[in-house]
Amino acid sequence: MPEPTKSPFSLLTMTLVPLLGILGGCSTGTSDRDLRFVTCLEAMQILEQKTGAFGSTGDTVNVWLDPRTLTEYEEGHIPRAISLPFPEIENSYESRLRSAAAIVVYDSNWNDVIAVSASKRLMELGHSDVYTLKGGLEAWVADGHDVEKGSPTEAVEEQAGRQ
């Protein structure tokens, strides 16, 4: 028995419908285009801004976020940065970062992808004011800024909104 012929329309439909489903599924995540990279100077200006309506609130709740391991943080970090290793971001976001107006995320250097990953994760959790420091801690030091060593302090954690 001869095989029935398929119309050009049915062939087109069988090809396009799965393709559109695949392409539609790819557009729901956060991409590199969503990232906002900043220099050290820009990051400091962002984090020094007052929060509230028209900058009326004197207490800023803007944070540096170090998503590297605790050991890397203790070996050297940007002053007043909070340590929140990348694997803990999702579970700790509500208690430690939700109240932050702006967050600047950094990592070790120009080639480290942890800051990009952490920035995307924060955006996926609904935080809209997230920035990624170009060059990370390496750029910070190259620009002549100080680095602190040691464990996170309670004062730093309180500044980040942890109460």
Quick check: is 58 in a domain? Answer: yes
Residue 16 belongs to some domain of the structure: no
Expressed as residue numbers, the domain containing 92 is 32-159
In a domain, 88, yes or no: yes
Residue 125: inside a domain:
yes
* Cα distance between residue 148 and residue 163, in whole Å: 23
Angle at 126 (CA atoms; ends 103, 112), nearest 5 degrees? 50
> φ, ψ for residue 24 (rounded to 5)?
-65, -35
Report the CATH number that the domain containing residue 79 is assigned in CATH. Answer: 3.40.250.10
Tell me, yes or no, whether 152 lies in a domain: yes
Joined tokens for residue 66: 């170090």
Task: Encode 11-40: b = buried (16+ Cβ within 10 Å), e = exposed.
Answer: eeeeeeeeeeeeeeeeeeeeeeeebeebeb
Residue 127 lies in a domain: yes
| CA 23 to centroid of chain Cα atoms | 25
Give the chain's domain count.
1
pTM of the model: 0.75
**Strand, helix or coil for residue 133:** strand
Mean pLDDT of 141-153: 94
* pLDDT tens for each residue of 1-50: 555 555 554 544 444 444 444 444 444 577 888 999 999 999 999 998 86
Among 84, 81, 104, residue whose Cα is nearest residue 94: 84
